[in-house]
Amino acid sequence: MTELEKIAAGAVERALKSGATDAECTISEGEEFSSNVRMGDLATVKEAGSRGAGIRVLVGQRTGSSYTSDLSREGIEKMVAAALELAKITSEDPYAGLPEREDLGQISGDLQLYDDSIARMEADWKVEQARQAEKVALAFDPRISNSEGASFDSHLSGRVFANSRGFVGSYRTSSCGLSVVPVAKENGSMERDYWFTSARTASKLESPELVGRRAAERAIRRLNARKVATQKAPIIFEPRTARALLGDIFDAVNGSAVYRHASFLAGKLGEKIASDALTVIDDPTLPGLFGTCPFDDEGVASRRTMVIENGVLKSYLLNTYSGRKLGLKSTGSAARGITGNAGVGPGNFFTPAGTKTPEQLIAGIRSGLYVTELIGGGGNAVTGDYSSGAAGLWIENGELAYPVSEITIAGNLKQMLMDIEHVGSDLEFRGSIASPTLLIREMTISGQ
């Protein structure tokens, strides 16, 4: 066992000796580096590391939790004592408890979560990537004469989990990312946009040239935006905004919301809840991605879950607790910080790519909205009501015609899911939730 695994297992053991009937301990450690360059000059460098431990104990069916940043023997002892003290004041919960032994485990094989190259990157090289991305963005067009800057960040982290049913596991992750935020200005119109790339290994990053150019193109095309008339129209979500819609779907299949009836998808298992075009999968086993992990935050092995298949709701995403409440098995979707009762989180939660390119989807629209930014608002998982600020480009006769902003788009997720007509071919994983371009038949646009 590593040093941290020993500390975690030791904390669990101490809890049992002190009167807990079950216990689980999480330790996380991280090192972060971030740098920011603005207008060609270095603006910020930050570099540091930290650790934290958390424990959750059960005394019969009562639970208590605590955490600390002090991993010394004394710190861990205090943490365990605090959790046991708290277990005295909570209620008996018949559904509380750790996963069954047979559900514990982890998937084997190289998940490509950690790459040494990130630990070896020189600070100067990282700063230079940011400088280069910003330089390209600033040189792209004379209308780009200002910038919020460019950043290069890297993170190394470790996560350890141990429980009183014999599970001890740990994994390390690495990641790095480059982003730039240019500001475009013309005729009193000022707009910013961004582009970013991130990966678990430096070799998979997009080049600074590409990041700079994309960010600049995006900022420029927003200039002199109009506010369109209030109307109903087809909407195309580009991947960056479609991802937010997938996030709304995640909220509705989250087992913690489902057992409380706080989701419009509660009670709909096996039913047709979306158009045939929509399939949604959660797969934390895909190597090298941001939602990948060998086991979830309760020590349950990661697995692929078909959530929505050709419009039919196949599964919710469940941790042990929400599974028990619904009479179902955990899907290995437990998520938490370092302490407390586990919630539910996404692995790699995505819609598989369709066949049509975004250009083909746009070409099929006579008059509609191509959404490139969502701001504020979003979906209400309880009712499905959806309303969000938006900006993007107006589609006229199958082509992107002019930028629009200061509008909202609204509908109800129940209908929106049924109205997904097409899924684009452009799936990319830029986070743990990912989607290709999505085309929705009709939503309400509020403008002038």
Partner 1 sequence: MSLSQSFFAERFGVTERDLETYLGDALSAGGDYADLYFEYLATTSIGIDEQIVKSATEGVTLGVGVRVISGDRTGYAYSDDLTPEKIRKAAKVAACIAKGPASIVKTGFELAQRHDLYPMVKAPNELGLAERVELVKRADQAARAYDPRVFQVQATYADNLRQVMVATSDGRLSVDRQPMARMSVMVLARDGDGPPQHGYSGGGGRVTLDFFLNEKTPEYFAREAARQAIVQLGAIDAPAGETTVVLGPGWPGILLHEAVGHGLEADFNRKNTSAFSGRIGQQVASPLCTVIDDGTIGSRRGSLNVDDEGVPTRKNVLIENGILRNYMQDQLSSRVMKSTPSGNGRRESYQHIPMPRMTNTYMLAGQSDPEEIVRSVSKGLYCATFGGGQVDITSGNFVFSATESYLIEDGKLTRPVRGASLIGNGPEALKYVSMVGNDLKLDEGIGICGKEGQSVPVGVGIPTVKIDRMTVGGTNA
Choosing from 1, 2, 50, 166, the residue that interacts with partner 1 (CB under 8 A) is 50
Distance CA 329, CA 121 (A): 43
Q: How far apart are CA 103 and CA 99, in angstroms?
A: 6
Residue from 5, 31, 141, 148 that binds partner 1 (CB under 8 A)? 148
Would you count residue 43 as binding partner 1 (CB under 8 A)? yes
> Residue 407's closest CA among 367, 437, 372, 382?
372
Instruction: State yes or no: residue 192 binds partner 1 (CB under 8 A).
Output: yes
DSSP state of 179: E
Select the span of 97-105, 294-302, 303-311, 399-407 touching partner 1 (CB under 8 A). 399-407
**448 lies in the binding site for partner 1 (CB under 8 A):** yes
Size of the site for partner 1 (CB under 8 A): 79
Return the range that interacts with partner 1 (CB under 8 A); candidates 47-55, 158-166, 294-302, 303-311: 47-55
From 292, 387, 432, 435, residue interacting with partner 1 (rule: CB under 8 A): 387
Compute the least distance from the CB of residue 165 to partner 1, in Å.
21
112 burial level (CB within 10 Å; 0-12, 13-18, 19+)? middle
Residue 5 near partner 1 by CB under 8 A? no
Mark the segment that binds partner 1 (CB under 8 A) among 10-18, 134-142, 223-231, 291-299. Answer: 223-231
Contact segment (CB under 8 A) with partner 1 among 106-114, 293-301, 380-388, 423-431 equals 380-388
Within positions 55 to 114, which residues make up the interface with partner 1, using CB under 8 A? 63-70, 78, 82-83, 85-87, 89-93, 96
Choose, by CB under 8 A, the member of 158, 177, 247, 377 that binds partner 1.
Answer: 377
The answer to the question of residue 3 lying near partner 1 (CB under 8 A) is no
E strands within 238-365? 280-282, 305-309, 312-313, 334-335, 343-344, 349-350
Please say which residue, 149 or 358, places its beta carbon nearer to partner 1. 149
- CA trace torsion 118, 124, 130, 133 (10° rounding): -100
Tokens of 41: 């000059």
Please report whether residue 128 would count as binding partner 1 according to CB under 8 A.
Answer: no
| Phi–psi pair at 219, nearest 5 degrees | -65, -45
Binding status of residue 4 toward partner 1 by CB under 8 A = no
Closer to partner 1 at the Cβ: 32 or 309? 32
Shortest approach of partner 1 to residue 30 CB, angstroms? 10
* Identified binder of partner 1 from the candidate list 10, 51, 171, 210, rule CB under 8 A: 51
Position 333 contacts partner 1 (CB under 8 A): no
- Select the residue interacting with partner 1 from 16, 121, 183, 328 (CB under 8 A): 183
Q: Contact between 380 and partner 1 (CB under 8 A)?
A: yes
- In the chain, the amino acid numbered 200 is R
> Any contact of residue 28 with partner 1 (CB under 8 A)?
no
Q: Is residue 190 near partner 1 by the rule CB under 8 A?
A: yes
Burial class of 120 by CB neighbour count within 10 A (0 to 12, 13 to 18, 19+): exposed
- Angstrom distance (rounded) from CA 7 to CA 13: 10
Taking CA atoms, 444 is separated from 113, 203, 229, in Å, by 42, 43, 11
> Binding of partner 1 at residue 146 (CB under 8 A)?
yes
Q: Does 135 bind partner 1 (CB under 8 A)?
A: no
Q: Quick one: tokens of 106?
A: 């982890």
